[in-house]
Structures are given as structure tokens and as C-alpha cells.
Amino acid sequence: MNSDNKNFFQKVYEVARLIPEGRVTSYGAIAKYLGAARSARMVGWAMNGAGSMPEIPAHRVVNKIGLLTGKHHFDGTNLMQQLLENEGITVVDNQIIDFEKHFWDPFKELGGPA
């Protein structure tokens, strides 16, 4: 991994650490906040690597419509869903119910861009 990617991943992790319990955000929202709106996939790659970092709440980052697209990067079949449900978020068929209600936009919440 080149140093630019490593620095970008660290920025992604910094934002992810700020997502409040019971809220979720999207790969694209983090990318937009970091001034790299077209880099949602890079945010996804960063979150894929966060599974071994318990301090990063990777389960709170989903796709733009609230699907648990990263769930296969968690140990156990339904761990991502269980973590979200433990925070009061309802998930049905890998889809967050009332996604808009739970959505945390770093751009609005943190006064972005970063």
C-alpha cells in the first residue's frame, strides 16, 4: 500500500471513530467529507481492513441506501447486524430500517470538509 493510501485510510478511520452509537453513515458520505467524493470504494477498502481494529466501529458504515454490504468482513454470519441491533438499529434482509433516521452525515455534523 502506498503512503497516500495509508494516509487516506487513517483519515477514514478518524471519521469512523466519530460516528455516534446508534447512528450509521455511508462510504460515500465519508469520502465526500474527506474531499474525495468519488472515492467511496476506497473508503470501503479502508473499512474492510478495520475488522481487526476494535476501536473502529466499521459496522456503522454501510452503503448509500443502508445495505450491510460489508458484512462478510466480520467474523460470524450476522455479526455486523448484531452489533447494529445492539445499538437500537433494526435490520431486515441486510437493510437498515429507517435509514434516514439513523444516518449521520459527517459533512453536516462536523462542518466539513475535513
pLDDT > 70? residue 1: no
Q: Check residue 97 and give its pLDDT.
A: 97
Enumerate the domain spans of the chain.
8-100
pLDDT > 60? residue 71: yes
What band does 4 get if pLDDT is binned at 50, 70 and 90?
low
Q: Check residue 5 and give its pLDDT.
A: 64
Question: Do residues 91 and 97 make contact, with C-beta atoms less than 8 angstroms apart?
Answer: yes
Q: Check residue 61 and give its pLDDT.
A: 97
What's the mean per-residue pLDDT of the chain? 91
- Residue 96's contacts (CB-CB under 8 Å, 6 or more residues apart) are 24, 62, 66, 67, 68, 84, 89, 90, 102
Question: Do residues 91 and 15 make contact, with C-beta atoms less than 8 angstroms apart?
Answer: no
pLDDT, one tens digit per residue, over 26-64 is 999 999 999 998 999 999 999 998 877 889 999 999 999
CATH architecture for residues 8-100: Orthogonal Bundle (1.10)
Q: Check residue 49 and give its pLDDT.
A: 84
pLDDT, one tens digit per residue, over 73-89 is 877 778 999 999 999 99
